[in-house]
Amino acid sequence: MTDGVDPGAPSAAGPGGTAGPARAQQAKHDVSAALDLSSATWTRLRDKAGTEHGPVEYAFVRHTDGVTYVVLRSVPGGGTHEAGGHHRGRYDGRHDTEPGDGHAAPAPTVLVFTPSEWDAFLAGVRDGEFDRPPE
């Protein structure tokens, strides 16, 4: 998923061969702030039947550092989706607007995951880490 260096991955930058937590957190913050979300293609999560479901969209966003990050965001407004799950409004990294309304709403919550974080999450899903216990 990546060609560049994952800021969430261990490096030789700190003691013991890994970046310190504060350094890694700052690096991730810097990357998150620099990601261009205005050109992201947001896709809404779907249930097993393929129906759009839940208040979350995701996108794969390539950064200038060569790394592709997984970005999740809360769905702004709830009613701004076309068939196919793509957001019709515009998100410029600061505000979300409805097409043609000219009014900016507060930015949705955006979570950025490094490739190593996303891989760890997917491994947990595959291992059943998030399965509901039997009733």
Q: Is residue 44 part of a domain?
A: yes
Question: Which is nearest to 36 in space by CA: 80, 90, 99, 102?
Answer: 90
Average confidence (pLDDT) over 8-15 = 47
Q: Is residue 110 part of a domain?
A: yes
The first and second tokens of residue 105, run together, are 């709403």
- Between residues 127 and 133, the one the model is more confident about: 127
Q: Return the minimum-mean-pLDDT range out of 41-50, 75-84, 87-96.
A: 87-96
**Model pLDDT for residues 70-82, shown as the tens digit of each residue:** 999 988 655 444 4
Q: Is residue 22 part of a domain?
A: yes
> What is the side-by-side order of every strand in the sheet holding 43-46?
43-46, 52-62, 68-74, 110-113
- Between residues 69 and 54, the one the model is more confident about: 69
Q: Is residue 131 part of a domain?
A: no
Structural domain for 31, as ranges: 15-126
pLDDT at 104 over 70: no
pLDDT at 91 over 60: no
The first and second tokens of residue 32, run together, are 């998150």
What pLDDT is stored for residue 5 in this prediction? 56
**Model pLDDT for residues 12-45, shown as the tens digit of each residue:** 344 444 557 888 888 888 888 889 898 899 888 8
* Tally of structural domains, the chain: 1
Q: Is residue 8 part of a domain?
A: no
Q: Is residue 102 part of a domain?
A: yes
Mean pLDDT, the chain, integer: 74
What pLDDT is stored for residue 27 in this prediction? 83
The first and second tokens of residue 31, run together, are 């990357």
pTM, to two decimals = 0.61
Q: Is residue 63 part of a domain?
A: yes
Q: Is residue 61 part of a domain?
A: yes
- Between residues 96 and 88, the one the model is more confident about: 96
CA 88 – CA 67 distance, rounded (Å): 26
